[in-house]
A and B are shown apart, each in its own frame.
Chain A
Amino acid sequence: MIAAVESVGLGKRFGRRWALRDCTVTIPAGEVVGLVGPNGAGKTTLLHLAVGLLAPSVGTIRVLGGRPGSGQAQISKVGFVAQDAPVYGHLSVADHLRMGEYPNPSWDRALAEGRIRQLGLDPRQRAGSLSGGQRAQLALVLAVAKRPELLVLDEPLASLDPLARREFLQGLMEVVASQGVSVVLSSHQVADLERVCDYLIVLADSRVRLAGEVPDLLAEHVRLSGPRRDPSSLPSDQTVIEAGHTDKQSVMLVRTRQPVLDPAWTAMSVTLEDLVLAYLKTPEPSEASTRPRLEVAR
């Protein structure tokens, strides 16, 4: 199966500043992928590289097997909604649909008009007088109606109120269910992504800090609390992501594929938000390989 996005050693430099570096990820097709990280982490840069608005400084990126932006066939496979869902304020909803149809040979007019009806938008209304939520929905319709294989959405939820966010995600998930399109969407709100993403990528300081299938990530991380101890005394198959101590107690978030056997620990499962925040707080993962393995006595 061809990956939706595959990058190797990808980097982008603006002058002397690296906006993205050492980015090697494989994003499976047919999934909804969340890209999270603080502002300035490189999310928009990665998305712009994926749709061909930017060219890499180093490394390679393939999208659905092709080079981003390399001709009509590649462009028509990818639907893109830029940050803040830009629309033309003085043009009507119907004008937007006509403008979407013109350059896109694969344009599905019935789909576009159906979605507009379903959303309750008046085709004659000017886009400038739409609410933020309606504008975002209109931009999504324009990206979806060209029948792309991959939808790339840059912070589609950022400027929406909670109700509009929910409605946008409902519409987006409906599109995923009915058309089987792959989605990459960025957000700095992890809570919004928890229900909708199959796959998560955490970017911080221009680098990928964590990437994986959401159920695997949740299963592999555990929060341990117990009597105070040195994180370096943990068995080598437990990587400490975050550790906090009081004078008597230690609380650590660890990544491990093995069950935690030490009876001194109380183990708790983590939410996606806990997980992302822990990775964003810690600059570099601690090295586990030099520590002793815990032997199981039987």
Chain B
Amino acid sequence: MIEFQLDAASGVAPYLQLVQQVHQALRLGMLEPGEQLPTAQQVVAKLAINPNTVFKAYRDLEREGLVRARPGQGTFVVGTLPPRDPAAQARFLNSMTSWIRDARAAGLDADDIEAIYRTAVRACFAEGVA
């Protein structure tokens, strides 16, 4: 069973942090189909957060088809997420690095580059372009 942590300084909503930690655990193989997620009672007893936060996270995961709630028993993993391909990650890091060098040579500073990156990410994900 996994244990949730909360990063109070991240600015990410607590329920979303729980969702992301399940995603991460699925990608790393720390969670597999059939395994149970901690009950809301276990999570709140550890993190001192509102149980509705846990229910909301579990509902989101259920909507994504990753977990299913069995009444009276708990919430169980039913889906999987493919692990990240390290070779692909290295490839994109390389192309991003050379892109940033070009941008710097063109006179952009770190703030400009981050703003461009954020705008592009927002635009792509809003359009549903994967």
Give A residues with C-beta under 8 Å from B: 31-32, 166, 169-171, 173-174, 176-178, 195-198, 215, 269
Known: A171-B45, A177-B39, A195-B14. 17 other contacts (CB 8 A): A170-B48, A173-B44, A173-B48, A173-B50, A174-B45, A176-B51, A177-B40, A177-B45, A178-B41, A195-B48, A195-B49, A195-B50, A195-B53, A196-B48, A196-B49, A197-B50, A269-B11
Closest to B44 in A: A173
Pick 9 A–B contacts, CB within 8 A, sort by A.
A169-B48, A170-B45, A170-B47, A173-B45, A173-B50, A174-B44, A177-B39, A178-B41, A197-B50
CB-CB under 8 A from A173, the residues of chain B are: 44-45, 48-51
Query: How far does the Cβ of A64 sit from chain B's closest Cβ, in whole Å?
Result: 19
* Chain B residues within CB distance 8 Å of chain A: 6, 11, 13-14, 39-41, 44-54
Contact of A198 among B40, B46, B50, B54 (CB under 8 A): B50
Which residue on B lies nearest to A166, using beta carbons? B48
Residues of chain B contacted by A198 (CB below 8 angstroms): 50, 52
Question: In the assembly, what is the distance between CA of A196 and CA of B45, in Å?
Answer: 12
- Chain B binding surface, main DSSP class: helix
Q: Which residue from chain A places its CB closest to the CB of B45 in the assembled complex?
A: A174
Assess whether A176 is in contact with B46, with CB atoms less than 8 Å apart.
no
Complex CA gap A169/B14 in Å reads 16
Instruction: Tell me how far the C-beta of A117 lies from the nearest C-beta in chain B, rounded to whole angstroms.
Output: 15
Residue on A nearest B8 in the bound complex, by CB = A195
Contact flag A176-B11 (CB < 8 Å), given A170-B44, A170-B45: no
Give the complex CA separation of A57 and B52 in angstroms. 36
Distance from A171 Cβ to chain B, minimum over Cβ atoms (Å): 8
Instruction: Write out the residue numbers on chain B whose beta carbons fall within 8 Å of the beta carbon of A170.
Output: 44-48
Closest 10 CB pairs of A and B: A173-B44, A177-B51, A169-B48, A177-B41, A170-B48, A174-B45, A177-B40, A195-B49, A196-B50, A177-B44
Known: A173-B44, A195-B14. A31 touches B52 (CB 8 A): yes
Q: For residue B56, which residue of chain A has the nearest CB?
A: A215
Q: Whole-angstrom distance between the alpha carbons of A198 and B11 in the complex?
A: 17
Among A173, A174, A269, the most chain B Cβ lie within 10 Å of the Cβ of A173
Is the pair B50, A176 in contact by a Cβ cutoff of 8 Å? yes
Known contacts A177-B41, A195-B14, A269-B11: does B48 contact A32 (CB below 8 Å)?
no
Residues of A within 8 A of B48 (CB): 166, 169-170, 173, 195-196
B39: chain A residues within 8 A (beta carbon): 177
A290 to B47, CA, bound (A): 46
Which chain A residue shows the least CB distance to B14? A195
On whether the beta carbons of A32 and B50 are closer than 8 Å, the reply is yes
Chain B residues with CB under 8 Å of A215's CB are: 13
Q: Which residues of A lie under 8 Å from residue B50 when comparing CB positions? A: 32, 173, 176, 195-198
Please report the C-alpha to C-alpha distance between residue A174 and residue B42 in the assembled complex, in whole angstroms.
8
